[in-house]
Amino acid sequence: MKQQRAKIALLGLENIIDIEMKCLPSVVGLELSGFYVDFEKFEEIKAAIQNKYQETEAFLQKELNTFDKQCQLDGTFVSNNLNLSSPEQLKQALRNKGYDINKTDVKTRAKYANDPIFQNLSAFKEAETLLKMFIKPLPSYINSKTQRVYSDFWQYGAASGRFTCGRLNLQQQPSRFKDWRKIFTAEPGNKLIVADYSQIELRIIGQLAKDKQYIDAYNKSLDLHRNTAAVMFKVPVDQVTKQQRRIAKSVNFGLNYGMGKRSLKEKLKLETGIDYSEGEVEKFID
């Protein structure tokens, strides 16, 4: 401890250590308290996701399955089920259907966002991920006596100083499927109190950069992303659409973290489904 204290002083980290030590009892309390799981809600969501998985799988098998001409019996062809979890089989089936693709990843699927086959494929992939990565393992983490999960938390687990979490990572539970997080709740007679810093990173960036418009927006409790969108799309603030605000949010965060026009172009395609040209993206950045 004496050697560590000497090194802490040498590096000028006394204040950091003080903050971390004060945080420690809360982290211990967090681990020992655990998080209550509504198992009935879990079973309800599990059934809904399994149903979605089966529906989308049946649709895709019908649309993409081809007959294997090597398997011919009594003048009829016998079809083999397509393995939808195999990227190679899926890619080939889509190419056979006329789609000019080399991958089946999220970026590729975004190009065909309005196509029923790709809509079902995305829904299938989401259901498959939820079933494999979250629904199947969760029961093994639930304490049968308390109906709680007890995760491990590391208060400076990431290089950025953020928390990390393991043995059921409560920090990375799915957010796009909104109902999923409803299974983590308060026990009957209790409530969860949820607090969140509003755009804390951008507030700090605005202060460090001494950006008058950032600071003015926050001092007046304005929506920075909505304001940015109004400037970008040349519309009044009260006429900014949700999609325009989403684009502005990507620009505000992305550019502050070094995102270039190519990366922003791909991000906007994923988030909005719109394939903006590099020229349009450059205007957004300007």
pLDDT in tens, 213-246: 889 988 998 888 998 899 888 899 999 998 889 8
Indicate if the pLDDT at residue 76 is higher than 70: no
Both tokens assigned to 126: 């989401």
Question: 11 or 76: whose pLDDT is higher?
Answer: 11
The C-alpha atoms of residue 264 and residue 106 are separated, in whole angstroms, by 15
pLDDT at 3: 96
Please state, in angstroms and rounded to a whole number, the distance separating the CA atoms of residues 188 and 5.
46
- pLDDT at position 50, please? 94
Q: How far apart are CA 109 and CA 177, in angstroms?
A: 18
The band of 275, judged by pLDDT with boundaries at 50, 70 and 90, is confident
**163 or 105, greater pLDDT:** 163
Residues in CB range of 36: below 8 A, 6 or more apart: 146, 147, 148, 184, 185, 186, 187
The whole-number average pLDDT for the span 33-47 is: 93
Task: Tell me the backbone φ, ψ of residue 37, rounded to 5 degrees.
Answer: -115, 125
pLDDT more than 70, % of the chain: 95
Which residues face 72 on adjacent strands?
Answer: 77
Domains, the chain, in order of start with CATH, read: 34-195 (1.20.1060.10), 200-285 (no CATH)
pTM over 0.85: no
Does residue 90 carry a pLDDT above 70? yes
68: confidence class by pLDDT, cuts 50, 70, 90: very low
Judging by beta carbons within 10 Å of its beta carbon (0-12, 13-18, 19+), is residue 60 exposed, middle or buried? buried
Tens-place pLDDT, residues 125-162: 999 999 999 999 999 999 999 999 999 999 988 887 78
In terms of Cβ atoms closer than 10 Å to its own Cβ (0-12, 13-18, 19+), residue 258 is exposed
Q: What is the tens place of the pLDDT at every residue in 247-261?
A: 888 888 888 888 888
What interhelical angle do 212-219 and 224-233 show, nearest 10?
Answer: 130
Mean pLDDT of the chain: 87
- 110 token code pair: 């975004």
| Length of the chain as a residue count | 286
Please state, in angstroms and as integers, the Cα–Cα distance from residue 208 to each residue in 41, 205, 211, 256, following that order.
Answer: 45, 5, 8, 12
Q: What is the pLDDT of residues 189-212, one digit of tens each?
A: 999 998 988 888 889 999 999 989
Q: Which residue is it, tokens 């949010």?
A: 249
